[in-house]
């Protein structure tokens, strides 16, 4: 399960950027064509957050649908897999435009006043 390593990296990046402040929420964008399983990330998240400023934080995952563009006629095609056929001209020569993302979109920290 490569999602464990990915989740560990996400937690490390957020932990670094939080600069010691408690993290309340982390929002990720995961493309449907990225070969990353959102449910596996959710499963690993709480375990990876233990003992860090992310412990107890909420994880939100926005799943980004796949989209391709035909290199022959320019038609945009919805993709559920990293390959497909153009609905308009029948070409299989598609460029993936969206759906391979794996991004930390935002994080919410709680700034504690001393």
In tens, the pLDDT along 59-96 reads 999 999 999 999 999 999 999 999 999 999 999 999 99
pLDDT of residue 16: 97
Is 17 annotated to bind a ligand? Reply is no
Fold classification of 3-65+99-109 is: hypothetical protein PF0899 fold (3.30.2320)
pLDDT of residue 114: 61
Is 70 annotated to bind a ligand? Reply is yes
Q: Locate the domains of the chain by residue range.
A: 3-65+99-109
Nearest to 61 by CA among 40, 33, 35, 77: 40
Q: Binning pLDDT at 50, 70 and 90, where does residue 1 land?
A: low
- What average pLDDT does the chain have? 96
Give SS3 for 59: strand
Give SS3 for 64: strand
- CA–CA dist 25, 36 (Å, integer): 20
Is 44 annotated to bind a ligand? Reply is no
């Amino acid at each position: 399960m490569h999602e464990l390593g990915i989740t560990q990296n996400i937690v490390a990046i957020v932990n670094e950027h939080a600069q010691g402040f408690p993290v309340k929420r982390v929002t990720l964008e995961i493309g449907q064509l990225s070969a990353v399983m959102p449910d596996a990330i959710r499963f690993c998240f709480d375990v990876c957050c233990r003992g860090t400023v992310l412990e107890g934080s909420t994880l939100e995952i926005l799943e980004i649908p796949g989209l391709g563009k035909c290199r022959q006629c320019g038609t945009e095609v919805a993709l559920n897999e990293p390959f497909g056929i153009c609905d308009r001209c029948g070409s299989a020569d598609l460029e993936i435009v969206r759906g391979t993302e794996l991004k930390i979109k935002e994080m919410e920290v709680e700034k504690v006043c001393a």
